[in-house]
Amino acid sequence: MIGLAAPVDPISLPSDLLSGWGRFPRVPGRERSSERLDHATLDVPLTRGLGRAYGDAALPAGGDIRIAGSGRANRLLAFDAETGELTAEAGLTLDELIRIFLPRGFFSPVSPGTRFVTLGGMVAADVHGKNHHAAGTIGRHVQALKLRVASGDVVMCSRATHPDLFRATVGGMGLTGHILEVTLRLERVASPWIVSESERVPNVRAFVEALRIASGNWPMTAGWIDCLSRQSAMGRGILFRGRWADPHEAPTPFAPLRAPVTVPFSLPGWALSSPIVKTFNFAHYRWHGAAVQRRVVTPARFLYPLDSVGEWNRLYGRRGFAQYQCVLPEAQGHDAVTRFFDVLTGRGGASFLCVIKDCGEEGEGLLSFPKKGISVALDIPMRDTTASLVDALNEVVIREGGRIYLAKDALTRPEHFRAMEPRLDDFLRVRRQWDPEGRIRSAQSVRLFGW
Amino acid sequence: MKAVILGATKGMGRALARRLAERGDRLFLIGRADDIGASARDLEIRSGPTVGTAYCDLEQPQSFAPALDAAAAALGGFDTVIVTGGMFASQEALERDPELTRRLLVVDFAHTVLFCEEARKRLMAAGGGTLCVFSSVAGDRGRSPVALYGAAKAGLTRYLEALDHRYRRQNLRTICVKPGFVKTSMTEGLKPPPFAGTPEQVADDVMAALDRGTPTVYTPRPWAAVMLIVRWLPRFVMRRVSF
């Protein structure tokens, strides 16, 4: 395509409001997206992928309006069918990666709960998935990264070259530079199907134990929790475990990904109010039945059940919602999770969706989220009390020696984050070294680190 | 199908090239982008067969023949030529800058036609084929926000229509693609109207047109209805509305 004179001067236009997936906060911002990410990232403070971070991680800081968007930079640059090593531009989505490589017997080694994320975003958040106990975070499978650092230079980093920059970038929320290209090793899978089992679990203590047992035999595990159940049933829910099906178990050779059905408009604020969620949760739990259910399902159904509903964030109404995810270390035992749920349910925390997952060892990223223990993720509708609920949960997490996940966060106080994160100074030192003037920043980095 | 594509590194051209490659068509990319090799590699990884490239710049007519000859040599002849490249600028920017206006009128009309003539000769020498060129709905009426860009596209549209009338009996199928508003980096910064489409929707529509030989394609689909109305609006109405 030939000589593209800038169609309009973007500065002269009123800026749009940008928000993360939780639709809170909304800040002035304008995304500049181009097939040429190396051009789009010049002189902007941040790159945003598909905007699936829930809070303010992919939003411009106050005063910064323009940020780069990576979604159009989505070329495959190299692929080795022997080793599964793929190099692609950072805007390639997991959805497209699966469409291209699953028919050839490869899958992303790690996958978050949605396939509508970019490779760059996956690395920046150092995402984990249902196989964290077995496969770690995505960072473990990344071989090399190409970054545009604050000086404007383009730098390759890996475990051998600029290892400090590599470790700070994996899980570094895009704050060390603009991720331009990612090289990672895909996982070879036996079939494009997953054998899944699900089972009811009566309470939170049993859940922690059930996850521990399942993780010994299954590469993928996670659980859904009914947050509104109380007393002896507190934290009851359904445990899911899965593994890639062997070819002889697979029903047909291939099932293509289906396009989502989209929520057409924002629902009113009461749509996910406590009585409605309570009814839904009760029905969901009962409907499952007492027996173990075993099925062979598509990866989309097992790994991305929410992706079947497009724009599901509209379910939470115009005010949006906060997602909260923390990990409570294993050393604190089962009781840590019980204490966390005591505080949550004590405050009437109506979370439509609550997911529990046991994590394996901490990754190498300096701000990588997971560590050995139990992770809990909640959706909390945005109300006047939401910030104080997050404060209360954060105080529990600090007491237990846990931490929160930046890709979800919009409300954590800086002093709380610092108390959770002994590695923060190491991260900020590397960030400062590559960006002495603090050019690369996000709304979240300014909120939590001051720059 | 063996197709030469001018403008496959970005937007609609990129989406179309990917669709064609994924269904097994042989492709050769021509253009002026310094990263055209990376776009070819992307298609190779998606589809398998080699995708060659050659330099071609719509601002430099002397680059047309060598680029098409290189494509013919690499593909062993071709039966389809697709032109998605072009230039866009807002009416305000063009009115401020006569040199930009000159470039845009030359690229989008005169040079695109010259390129099509080179392509036409080669396709007809090989016994026929398909020439598929991206014009625009902007050329259908004299519309105030796209007076200059629309004028160039109107000229291009008429040329393509005539080419189809003149040579279809000699097995040259000419396809004029008229995209409505499509969300690409070209239109970034403009406020998307209703029925704004994606490059992937356009690619699907153009694939269908390539297979059937449809002479005029409005894409995405709702634009066929929109433009049917716009084409029949009386001038006193067109003068008052701002589209």
- Residues whose CB is less than 8 angstroms from the CB of residue A77 and which lie 6 or more positions away in sequence, other chains included: A87, A88, A89, A181, B38, B41, B42, B45
Average pLDDT (B62-88) is 97
pLDDT digit string (tens) for B41-57? 999 999 989 999 999 99
Q: Smallest Cβ distance to A1: which of B11, B38, B46?
A: B11
Check whether A11 has a pLDDT greater than 70.
no
Please answer whether residues B150 and B142 qualify as being in contact, where contact means their C-beta atoms are separated by less than 8 angstroms. Answer: yes
In chain A the domains, ranked by start, together with CATH numbers, are 194-412 (3.30.70.2520)
- How many domains does chain B contain in total? 1
Q: Percentage of residues in chain A with pLDDT exceeding 90?
A: 76
Q: Smallest Cβ distance to A5: which of B14, B93, B185?
A: B93
Question: What is the pLDDT of chain A when averaged over all its residues?
Answer: 92
Closest alpha carbon within chain A to B149 = A7
pLDDT, position B186: 83
pLDDT, position A9: 37
Distance from CA of A99 to the nearest CA of B (A): 10
pLDDT digit string (tens) for B201-220? 999 999 999 999 999 999 99
CATH number at residue B136: 3.40.50.720
By C-alpha distance, which of A324, A423, A433, A448 is closest to A368?
A423
Check whether A6 has a pLDDT greater than 70.
no
Check whether B242 has a pLDDT greater than 80.
no
pLDDT, position A15: 64
Distance from CA of B96 to the nearest CA of A (A): 12
Please answer whether residues A182 and A123 qualify as being in contact, where contact means their C-beta atoms are separated by less than 8 angstroms. Answer: yes
Q: What are phi and psi of B4, to 5 degrees?
A: -105, 130
Q: How far is CA A118 from the centre of its chain?
A: 11
- The partner residues of A201 in beta bridges, in order of sequence, read A237
Cis peptide upstream of residue A268 (ω within 30 degrees of 0): no
As given in the structure block, the two tokens for residue A431 are 């960030």
More confident: A259 or A239 = A239
**pLDDT band for position A318 (cuts 50, 70, 90):** confident
Question: What is the pLDDT of chain B when averaged over all its residues?
Answer: 95
Say if the Cβ atoms of A7 and B31 lie within 8 Å. no
pLDDT digit string (tens) for B161-215? 999 999 999 999 999 999 999 999 888 878 888 888 999 999 999 999 999 999 9
Tell me which residue range forms the domain holding B170.
Answer: 2-240
**pLDDT band for position A278 (cuts 50, 70, 90):** confident
Average pLDDT (A142-157) is 98
Where in A272-393 does DSSP place strands (E)? 293-297, 309-310, 321-329, 354-359, 373-381
Bridge-based pairing of strands A309-310 and A178-185 is: unpaired
pLDDT digit string (tens) for B89-108? 999 999 999 999 999 999 99
pTM reported for the whole predicted model: 0.94
C-alpha to C-alpha distance for A224 and A306, rounded to whole angstroms: 13
C-alpha to C-alpha distance for A400 and A265, rounded to whole angstroms: 40
Closest alpha carbon within chain A to B112 = A2
pLDDT digit string (tens) for A363-398? 999 999 999 999 999 998 898 989 999 999 999 999
Say if the Cβ atoms of B185 and A100 lie within 8 Å. no
Q: How far is CA B40 from the centre of its chain?
A: 19
Closest alpha carbon within chain A to B9 = A1
pLDDT digit string (tens) for A163-187? 999 999 999 999 999 999 999 999 9
3-state helix, strand, coil in chain A (%, to 5): 35, 25, 40
Give me the helix-helix angle, B98-105 and B147-167, nearest 10°: 10
Which B residues in the span 125-184 are in contact with A, Cβ-Cβ below 8 Å? 184
Residue whose entry in the numeric block shows the structure tokens 């805007």: A91
